[in-house]
Structure 1
Amino acid sequence: MKNVTKSLFVLSVSLFFFNCSSSEVTPPDNNPTPTATKTTYDKDVKTLINNSCATSACHDAVSPQAGLPLTNYTQVKNAAQNGNLIARINSSSNPMPPSGQNSTVVAIIAKWKTDGYLEN
């Protein structure tokens, strides 16, 4: 009987420690995954278009080349969605701007498209 009582005691203590040590505690997440920044017209695209396209001799409001002014969000978005803005900036034979492709501009416009043509 003494051995049975001793065995039950050892078993009880063992179960207690296993039960306590097997519970997992998840540490707090001190390094959360950053959210991806969305590309927007106001923050990313507007300055590029103004500097590369909507200059006084090209796609400004006064005398837009090919009847395509690119001076505000709606005009640029429509040209990207319905026109050939993206095709022209990606063209190797007839690129816009005529000075040639700029991989940064191409990448930003492509991300703006992917992000849903956000305004701000």
Structure 2
Amino acid sequence: MKPLINLFSISILLTISSCSTSEVPSDETPIDPVEKITYEKDVKGIINSSCATTNCHDAVNPTAGLALTNFNNVRNAAENGNLFGRINNSASPMPPSGLLPSSTRNIISQWRADGYLEE
């Protein structure tokens, strides 16, 4: 019986010693609240790599007639279209391959909150 108690005591000590009070790192990159999000600096690259690709929302043959190839098109889709609904809709996401990471979607949402700045 004594070896079982010793084994139990050792396992408790190992469990307690492996506990940590440090925070688990997040995959989210925080947005600097002072620096404004702009289309040119922050949003354009996301849109170009995720939306304005060949066979999607490019200039040649845009899906649903929605080209997302420049500031005015993207801003219009954000203000008057369903850009925000689609990038946040897991049932019918944009891009169709799946939701963008929440940190990426947060950049686009912050762009809206900052007033759709171009540069």
For the residues of structure 2 that align with 1:72 and 1:42, how far apart are their CA atoms?
Answer: 10
| Structure 2 gap segments, 5+ residues each | 1-31
Which one has the largest radius of gyration? 1
- The superposition leaves residues 67-96 of structure 1 with CA deviations (integer Å, 9 ceiling, x where unpaired) of 000000000000000000010001021010
Question: Are positions 1:90 and 2:107 aligned together?
Answer: no
C-alpha RMSD over aligned residues: 1.4
Q: TM-score, normalised by structure 1?
A: 0.70
Give the TM-score normalised by structure 2.
0.70
AA partner of residue 112 (structure 1)? W
> How many residues of Structure 1 are paired with residues of Structure 2 in the alignment?
87
> Which structure 1 segments of 5+ residues have no match?
1-33
Post-superposition shift, 1:35?
7.2
Q: SS of 1:79's equivalent?
A: helix
Percent identity for Structure 1 against Structure 2: 60
SS in 1 for 2:57: coil
Q: Please identify, of 41-50 and 104-113, the stretch whose mean Cα deviation from structure 2 is larger.
A: 104-113
Q: Match for 2:114: what amino acid?
A: D
TM superposition outliers: structure 1 runs of 4+ over 6 Å: none
Query: Which residue of 1 is the match for residue 57 of structure 2?
Result: 59
Q: Which amino acid aligns with 2:83?
A: L
Q: How does 1:39-50 map to 2 (within 5 A)?
A: 39-50=37-48
